[in-house]
A and B are shown apart, each in its own frame.
Chain A
Amino acid sequence: MLPNLLPDLPGVGFKPEHFAAIRHSAAGIGFFEIHAENYMGAGGLPHAQLTAIRADHALSVHGVGLSIGGARGLDPDHLARVARLCDRYQPESFSEHLAWSSHGADYLNDLLPLPYTEETLRLVCNHVDQVQATLGRRMLLENPATYLCFAQSTIPEPEFLSEVARRTGCGLLLDVNNVFVSCTNHGTDPRAYLTAFPLHLVGELHLGGHEAEALPSGPLLIDSHGAAVADPVWALFAEVIAVAGPLPTLVEWDNDLPDWPVLAAEAARAGHILAKGGMGLARAS
Chain B
Amino acid sequence: MHAHPDVVAGFDAALRGGPVPAGLVARDPAEVERRFAVYRNNVTVSLTQALATRFPVIQRLVGEAFFAPLARLYADTDRPKSPVLAEWGDGFAAFLEAFPPLAPYPYLGDVARIEVARGQAFHAADARPVDPARIAAADPDRVRLVLHPSVLLVRLAHPAVSIWARNQPGAEASPQPLPLGPQTALILRDAAFQVPVRAVGPGDAAVLRVLLAGDRLSVAADAARHAEPGHDLQPLLVSLMRAGAIVDVKE
Contact = CB atoms under 8 A, between A and B. Distances in A.
Interface of A: 37-38, 40-48, 64-66, 70-72, 75, 77-78, 81, 100-103, 105-110, 112, 114-115, 117, 119-120, 123, 147-152, 185-187, 215-218, 220, 222
B9 interface: yes
Contact of B84 (A40, A43, A48, A105): A40
Contacts of A100: 8
Q: Which of A71, A114, A187 has the most CB of B within 10 A?
A: A71
Contacts of A108: 12, 15, 43, 79
A64 B80 CA distance: 14
Given A150-B7, A185-B35, A215-B28, A42 B84 contact: no
A216 B86 CA distance: 40
A119 B12 CA distance: 19
Given A78-B83, A120-B4, A45 B193 contact: yes
A150 B123 CA distance: 41
Contacts of B150: 44
A186 B27 contact: yes
Contact of B31 (A40, A71, A151, A216): A216
Interface string B1-39: 111110111011001000000011111101110111011
B125 interface: yes
A215 B31 contact: yes
A109 B28 contact: no
Contacts of B30: 216-217
Range of interface residues on B (Cβ < 8 Å): 35 or more
Contacts of A46: 123
Nearest to B26: A148
Contact of B24 (A75, A110, A150, A216): A150
Given A78-B83, A110-B39, A217-B27, A71 B122 contact: no
Contacts of B9: 71, 103
Contacts of A186: 27
A186 B28 CA distance: 9
A147 B83 contact: no
B25 A149 contact: yes
B81 A110 contact: no
Interface in B151-197: 189, 193
A32 B164 CA distance: 36
Nearest to A211: B38
B28 A217 contact: yes
Interface of B: 1-5, 7-9, 11-12, 15, 23-28, 30-32, 34-36, 38-39, 42-43, 46-47, 50, 79-86, 122-126, 149-150, 189, 193
- Which of A38, A48, A103: most chain B CB closer than 10 A? A103
Contacts of B11: 103, 112
A112 B23 CA distance: 15
Given A75-B82, A107-B81, A150-B25, 10 more contacts: A37-B84, A71-B8, A101-B83, A106-B80, A110-B39, A147-B38, A149-B25, A150-B7, A152-B1, A216-B30
A179 to B, nearest CB: 16
Interface centre among B23, B46, B150 (most CB of A within 10 A): B23
Contact of A123 (B4, B122, B149): B4
A274 B82 CA distance: 38
A141 B43 CA distance: 22
Nearest to A66: B83
A41 B123 contact: yes
21 contacts: A41-B84, A42-B124, A46-B123, A70-B8, A71-B7, A75-B82, A78-B83, A103-B8, A106-B80, A108-B12, A109-B43, A110-B43, A114-B8, A147-B26, A147-B39, A148-B25, A148-B32, A148-B35, A149-B24, A149-B25, A222-B38
A42 B149 contact: yes
Contacts of B123: 41-44, 46
Contact of B3 (A106, A119, A150, A220): A119
Contacts of A103: 8-9, 11-12
